[in-house]
Amino acid sequence: MHYAVPALLAQAGMLEVFYTDIHAGDWPVQLGLSWWPKAMRPKSVQRLLGRRLPAVLAHTTRTVPFAAIRCLITNSDIEPPIRRALERDGFGAANALYTLSNGDIEVVRKARRAGLFVVHEQILNPDVGRILHEERERFPGIEPQEPLDQITADERRDIDQWQEAQLLLAPSEFVREGMIRMGADQDKIAIVEYGLPKEWLDTVSEPVRGRVLYAGTVGLRKGAHYLAHAKRMLDAKGIQTEVRIVGPVHSSIVEHPAFQGPIYCGQVPRTRMAEEFRRADVFVLPTISDSFALVHLEALACGVPVITTPNCGSVVRDGLDGFIVPIRDAKMLAERIEQILTDRSLRKRMSENARARAGQFTWELYGERLISAVSMTAPHGVA
């Protein structure tokens, strides 16, 4: 969450070292920028420049910038170089390991043998592979289909990670239920919902009437095709909307009939996202498989009513600050969009409720929930 977890641990005096791939302050990045004219920098570089470490992490962060650049060029996995850096350094004075990947089971086992307390955060619902496999069967040819044996192997890695960890964190009840269904020990699981910097609450909303915003990767998992279908339904009824889809998207997806209708803006730097939220009339995230989408919390903070699904692990209260619709239901999606756009008094009430709701999910409050969950479970102070 844009360095929230390590920053909050550092502020609590619980962080020994934070391992990541690369950030804007790394010297190879700064060296490259010194000769790269600003107007010629591609979007990928602009996005990288948005990855600025909080000051509290300045002296506790280890990166692998050259490996990260190589992985970016070759489209390879960045996790092995990060793991090798951690293994090379050893665990130092740390007595706990906080992990978010199911691919580092050997590191976790080494940590357990060294007597470290292991916390594992499940950042996606664990049955995402099967849900996405089903969706790719419904819409063949849009995305490569993952073999079921590969999905099973990935689930096995999740289960192995859960068995080794002493504390499991889930960002939502949706994720917790998925973990339990797959065999996780429910007594190990703590729900710790995410948060966002309180500065988001200061955003002045000036919505463009009829503007519908979606933010996130464009593909089957996030349900952008159902929003596109809803857009076509609204067009057929003569309901004027401007549906803006902001996020990484492949040209082949945009050209597919299932995705026709919205305006595809591509990925934009995080510094521009606040403006997108500020000008939105309603935010829609019809995801079929998620955990706790930070974008819907950002929308709420900007006073934008949110329409999403139960599979988002949403903090949205149905009928108060937005609507919860069933997954894969473009008709209901269209109806709820129309309802908010045409009933301005409803939109006004939801906007006020949205900002108040987001105030319950600041980084500070998230930090309290996170530190409490770890401290209550660990047998001694962790770092």
Q: Residue 83: what pLDDT?
A: 86
Residue bearing the bigger pLDDT, 383 or 177: 177
Which domains are present in the chain? 4-196+363-377 (3.40.50), 199-358 (3.40.50.2000)
Residue 31 pLDDT > 90: no
pLDDT band (50, 70, 90) for residue 350: very high
204-241: per-residue pLDDT in tens? 889 999 999 999 999 999 999 999 999 999 999 999 99
Q: Residue 229: what pLDDT?
A: 98
45-98: per-residue pLDDT in tens? 666 666 788 889 889 999 888 887 788 778 788 888 888 888 888 888 899 999
Q: Residue 25: what pLDDT?
A: 78
Do the bridges between strand 211-215 and strand 282-285 make them parallel or antiparallel, or are there none, so unpaired? parallel
Residues of the chain above pLDDT 90, percent:
66
DSSP state string for 117-166: EEEEE--S-TTHHHHHHHHHHHSTTSSPPPPHHHHHHHHHHHHHHHHH-S
Q: Residue 283: what pLDDT?
A: 98
DSSP state string for 41-93: --HHHHHHHT-PPPGGGTTTEE--HHHHHHHHHHT--SHHHHHHHHHHH--TT
pLDDT band (50, 70, 90) for residue 139: very high
152-210: per-residue pLDDT in tens? 999 999 999 999 999 999 999 999 999 999 999 999 999 999 999 889 999 888 999 99
Cα separation, 63 vs 21, in Å, equals: 5
CA–chain centroid gap for 221, Å, is 13
Kindly state the average pLDDT of the residues 300-322: 93
- pLDDT mean across residues, the chain: 90
Q: Residue 47: what pLDDT?
A: 64
Residue bearing the bigger pLDDT, 95 or 379: 95
Kindly report each contact of residues 342-345 with a partner whose C-beta sits within 8 Å and lies 24 or more positions away, as own/partner.
342/239
| Residue type (1 letter), 363 | W
Q: Residue 1: what pLDDT?
A: 75
Cα separation, 128 vs 175, in Å, equals: 10
Q: Residue 261: what pLDDT?
A: 95
Residue 23 pLDDT > 90: no
Q: Residue 376: what pLDDT?
A: 79
Residue bearing the bigger pLDDT, 38 or 314: 314
Residue 383 pLDDT > 60: no
Residue bearing the bigger pLDDT, 383 or 328: 328
Cα separation, 198 vs 301, in Å, equals: 8
Cα separation, 280 vs 208, in Å, equals: 6
